[in-house]
Amino acid sequence: MLYRLLLSRLTQSLLKRHCLQIKRLYRRCFVVDKHEIIERLLHSLTPNQAKAVQSDKRRLLVAAGAGSGKTEVMARRIAWWVGVENVPKENIVAFTFTEKAAEEMKFRVRFWIEKITHPGEDVNLGGMYVGTIHGFCLAKLREFWPDKYHNYDILDEASRMALILRGFNGILGLSGLRSVLNASQSETIDQFITAYDQLHEHNRFEVKLSSEEPPYRLGTEEREWCKKARLLTQVGEDDAAKAFAVSAARYYAYLRCRRFLDFSTCQTEFLRNLINDKKHMQSLKEKQVHLVVDEVQDINPVQRDIMLALTGEHGKLTVVGDHRQSIYAFRGAKVEIIGEMWKQFKNDPDSDVVDLSENFRSTPRIIEIANRWSDTISPAGGMETPHMLHGKEDRVDNHPSHIALVSFDNRNKEASWIAEAIRTIVPSEAEGARHDKRDGTYRGLALSDIAVLVRSSTDVRTYMRALEEMGIPAVVRAGPDLFSQPEVLLLIAALAISAGIDQFYGSPHNPKSLPNRIASVLECDPEPELVLRESARLLRRSGLSLNREIEDRLAFAARALKARIVDGRAYKANEVSFLRTRRLREFLVDERPLRRVFPQQLYHWMLTETEVEKWDTCDGRGEAAMFHLGTLSGLITGIETPGWTSVDDYRWQIIGLCQYGAESGRTPEQPLIVPPNAVTISTIHSIKGLEFAAVFLADVCASRFPSSRARQAVRVPLSGKILDEIDIEGLSDNENYDGERRLMYVALTRAERFLIISCSGRRRSKFIRELQEIVNASGGTVTDDAGALLNEIRHAPLEHRREMQLSTSFTDMRYYLACPHDFYLRKVLGFSPTIDQAFGYGRGIHNLLRVIHSNPTYWAELAGDTNKLEAAIKDLIERGLFYLRYTTGEPAENMRRKGIKIVGDYIKYFAEELRELSFEPEKEFETLVEFEDASDGGALIFGAIDIVRRDDPPRVTLIDFKSGEPESDRHKELDEDEMKLQLGVYAIAAKKELQYEPDKGLVRYLDVDRSKGEKHELVVPLDEDSIENAKQTVIKTATAIRDRKFVSGPLKHGASGEIRCSLCDFLGICGMDSAVKFKKGNSRSF
């Protein structure tokens, strides 16, 4: 019987393998003909687009004007390399400026690879990289040098500010620099960051660290290790430069201790390691990397060096950009680089320059205005860039009053008219101004098709208030002007009170300082108590629900938190019994000494006491307010990211949040998988790469546009030759204000159909004076009579854009499957869950298992000797592979001891498997599924399979670990159906992207006692039916997300049968009926 069973299994395996070989042979015999591939890839392109796609030159510059279809050209060029030149996909790299641009590029590349792939054959990107440069650098650091960098994360700007403030007076020694500069803390940090970043962006940062490994314990060990760092770069001999050198070296060391890299450090770290690693340099040389770089006009010198290192003498380089759209010189971008490339490529027989001039975005008048404006910009390095041509024949101007420049007596009148004009374009929820679609039909514009753009965020609130008064919802994507929103000021005031801050401070000369914002918006003194009261009054006036009782309760909660955190006072239960939040009440009555706090948790408690659930309406002013509060939640996560917040740190963290958010903050690109139905109000910088059917370019006034501060010299604590070597002067604008002129060009070219430029006041900007002539000459309208504008608008049934592409993970989708509104709060509005000291435990376990499965036979041999095994695991921990940012002391040691036991038991139990088989740990993937109705777009699902067990390749088993995180992570628990779906999604990716044939999936529970017979493994069949069922679930979920189906509570109970609302991260702020009902029934326990 056993012989027959083994024979049967062997026969099945051989048959399956032969079937796969026959299938592959069939595909090779019936590949798409190369001539047909060429015809498909060049179909419908303009002559120059076709030239760019098929160029055989080793180096190519594509000078792509606005709306010229550059993404399409780049995608087809990549497909050309794959289908015509037979370049392996893993040898292709594409750099984009933002993650959003990367997502669009991935969709287009997949689309064109599918076009040249035989029907029935899986379409995938293979090992191709498409993403940002810093994302690539981090990925390669982890891949090439995993023992050192696998545990590292990127530190965003808000988190970096928090880290610097955390160490300002201590580990970083920045108080010394402040003393030498005789400057404020904020100015000291600005100068420090600018100098540090410019050294990295010019690849001029050299540092010597201690020879010992970075410590993994927080506290004294960390501080002493960082103090041993020395900056080797010569940055000057004066006192400021010497003080900077001390702090810069320590900051770099601090990043390494905390297992972080910021954006600039990440790039130099990769380049330095690559140059010093002959093995990987040789590997890149042999691969002959084919590299595409988008937005090359905004790269810096170190990014150019990375491009050259990757392509070397034998790879291919295609760069795409437009010097007229270079708008990041103030951050260190060098428009001169594209000019240098233009000169080099023009004169090199193995290089070429191709101009893409057709604009497929805008109407003829908008294009004409932009062309005339571009003539005022100085060419970069003498570049000759032709004017844009009208490329979309059916996108025509309907009336001269739709393209206009209009002036007003004051900004309030300007803002009021813009609100009225928006209502003219979108008069109701049923119809909007008629606009052509890609397929030649028409749709009515929605509010999300409209943008109000400004040069500076300082006075965005004026326009926001005008829209509110007209009942028009709007969202602000204008960076620091988030802190001019009354709902944000309300909560910022409450947080400040809780931290013991009596007054907000900031420069009276900086219009972005928080005191000046408060004066502008609330017209009160910058005292948190006053700010809270005035914000509440303004919110009531805007129509949001916030009565005096709620206002008083929030104020009391903030003061009570201050008493508990700052003063160490505990309350009596009866004193806080009227508060809504049980955990807040418990926190306030707890008499034990406080060591640490969790800012996000405090923020959630305050949101609950404010009853923001009443604003959670999924539309209108409520949605806009919740979006702003969600963005603030993300910033608060930033101040927690570097590590735990002690009681003493808390006050400084909130001060840092206020300073950063008000003056320097740039909210990261929100995960707005589906845009809210609201007008976008934004600075021009914040909408780079986007387009809108209607653009109102407002506040083009004297001293604002061009900015009176554009030419101010940038101050840095450096001296001597280094100032010229890193071109500090280039951070300021030139005499012609070319940086400001490029910014204007970007604003003008965002518009598809309606473009209204407006100004106010008696003084006229020099740009307005020039634009008046240009708009007139282009057939538009110049007037001070706003009533003469926007005539003869035809309307059509309102329709949101359906050409939508989603990019999400299984984790995100399972939030939707459990509760659509959880997904909405978390992924659309951007609210972050609270964190606690257990965070990092599960990742630590996975890191250890990754190392073990990377060298399985070594660990299998240790399984028989417990002492040696535990010593080897402990050595991994000593090297930082079980790093805990959010806890220290005995709790951290307990987690590490538990990790050693869990991983040791796993190795012992699966020693034979580890000895006999090979594995691919943490196999990352991205796979595309199309929408249910086969409309344009689809869902790009990304993730990482914990382990691919190579049973008999291509036959594999997919393994997912459940590490038994502490109770605090219970919200992440999956039930068995969700685990099966997760492995089903992994199987889709394994088959389609990784070219494997998964037989089954295994969910392995790690924190179990196998000797007692506790369940330690769930077997998940991965047959065709199971995989198809998983695919259909993903498609239906993605389609529902696209269609904004968020007004729904939980669809199922928790993993252990609990009511889902009781486990929700966002119960206190959720306005769904099910949540409200649960809270009413459990008023003392939520």
pLDDT in tens, 581-600: 999 999 999 999 998 899 99
Taking 60 as the threshold, does the pLDDT of residue 22 lie above it? no
Mean pLDDT of the chain: 88
Question: Does 727 map to a domain?
Answer: no
- 521 and 445 both lie in a single domain: no
Contact 290, 93 (CB under 8 A): yes
Residue 239 is predicted with a pLDDT of: 95
Treating both helix axes as pointing N-terminal to C-terminal, what angle do 157-167 and 185-201 enclose, rounded to 10 degrees? Answer: 120
Indicate the range of 4-13, 243-252, 407-416, 754-763 predicted with least confidence: 4-13
Tell me, what's the pLDDT at 226?
94
- 672 is a domain residue: no
> DSSP label at 217?
S
Q: Residue 986 belongs to a domain with what CATH number?
A: 3.90.320
pLDDT at 991: 87
813 and 862 co-located in one domain:
no
Domain that residue 655 falls in: 479-664
The proportion of the chain whose per-residue pLDDT surpasses 90, expressed as a percent, equals 59
Whole-number pLDDT of residue 1057? 62
- Residue 80: partners with Cβ closer than 8 Å, 6 or more residues away: 41, 53, 54
pLDDT digits (tens, 9 = 90+) for 57-74: 999 999 999 999 999 999
The whole-number average pLDDT for the span 235-260 is 95
pLDDT-based confidence at residue 687 (cuts at 50, 70, 90): confident
Q: Is residue 843's pLDDT more than 90?
A: no
311, pLDDT greater than 90: yes
| pLDDT 10s digits, 608-641 | 999 999 999 887 788 888 988 998 998 898 888 7
* 30 is a domain residue: no
> What sections of 713-809 are H helices per DSSP?
722-725, 738-748, 766-777
Q: DSSP strand E in 669-786: where? A: 679-683, 692-697, 751-760, 781-783
In a domain, 460, yes or no: no
Instruction: Examine the domain organization and report whether 790 and 905 are in the same domain.
Output: no
CA dihedral 777, 778, 783, 785 (to 10 degrees): 150
**pLDDT: which is higher, 416 or 187:** 416
Of 295, 327, 356, the domain-final residue: 356
934 plus 1022 within the same structural domain: yes
**Structural domain tally of the chain?**
6
Q: What digits encode the pLDDT tens for the residues 1042-1066?
A: 788 898 888 877 656 667 888 889 9
Region of poorest pLDDT, from 120-124, 344-348, 483-487, 1023-1027: 120-124
Classify residue 816: in a domain, yes or no.
Answer: yes
Question: Any idea what the CATH number is for the domain that residue 346 is in?
Answer: 3.40.50.300
- Claim to verify: residue 346 and residue 440 sit in the same structural domain: no
Residue 824 lies in a domain: yes
Whether residue 586 sits in one domain with residue 516: yes
- Mean pLDDT: which of 221-230, 671-680, 992-1001 is highest? 221-230
Indicate whether 10 pLDDT > 80. no
Residue 806 scores a pLDDT above 90 = no
pLDDT at 4: 47
Q: How far apart are CA 54 and CA 74, in angstroms?
A: 11
For the chain, report the end-to-end CA distance as a whole number of angstroms. Answer: 60
Average pLDDT of 1016-1037? Answer: 90
Same domain, 909 and 944: no
The amino acid at 763 = R
The answer to whether residues 822 and 867 belong to one domain is: no
**pLDDT surpassing 60 at residue 748:** yes
Which has the minimum average pLDDT: 292-301, 359-368, 446-455, 457-466?
A: 457-466
Out of 200, 228, 258, pick the residue that ends a domain: 258
User: Which comes out higher in pLDDT, residue 2 or 107?
Assistant: 107
Residue 295 sits at the vertex; the CA angle it makes with 292 and 296, to the nearest 5 degrees, is 75
Given this model, what pLDDT does residue 936 score? 58
pLDDT tens-digit map of 869-920: 999 999 888 888 887 777 777 777 888 889 899 999 999 999 999 999 999 9
* Mode of pairing for the β-strands spanning 918-930 and 938-952: antiparallel
Boundary of a domain, candidates 231, 258, 285: 258
Please indicate, yes or no, whether residues 219 and 316 belong to a single structural domain of this protein.
Answer: no
> Is residue 1036 a part of any domain in this protein?
yes
The answer to whether the CB of 315 falls within 8 A of the CB of 60 is no
What angle separates helix 889-909 from helix 866-878, to the nearest 10 degrees? Answer: 130
pLDDT at 3: 41
The span from the CA of 741 to the CA of 706, in Å, is 8
* Residue 1023 within a domain: yes
Give pLDDT tens digits for 514-570.
898 899 889 999 999 999 999 999 999 888 999 999 999 999 999 999 999 999 999
963-982 residue pLDDT tens: 765 333 344 567 788 889 99
Across 824-838, average pLDDT: 84
- Given pLDDT bands bounded at 50, 70 and 90, which one contains residue 13? very low
Residues 637, 498, single domain; the answer is: yes
To the nearest 10 degrees (0 to 180), the angle between helices 599-609 and 548-565 is 150
Do the Cβ atoms of 209 and 253 come closer than 8 Å? yes
Name the least confident of 765-779, 792-806, 824-838: 792-806
Out of 155-169, 288-302, 412-426, least confident range:
155-169
CB 837 within 8 A of CB 703: no
Contact 626, 615 (CB under 8 A): yes
The reply to whether 1001 and 1062 lie within a common domain is yes
Please indicate, yes or no, whether residues 1024 and 967 belong to a single structural domain of this protein: yes
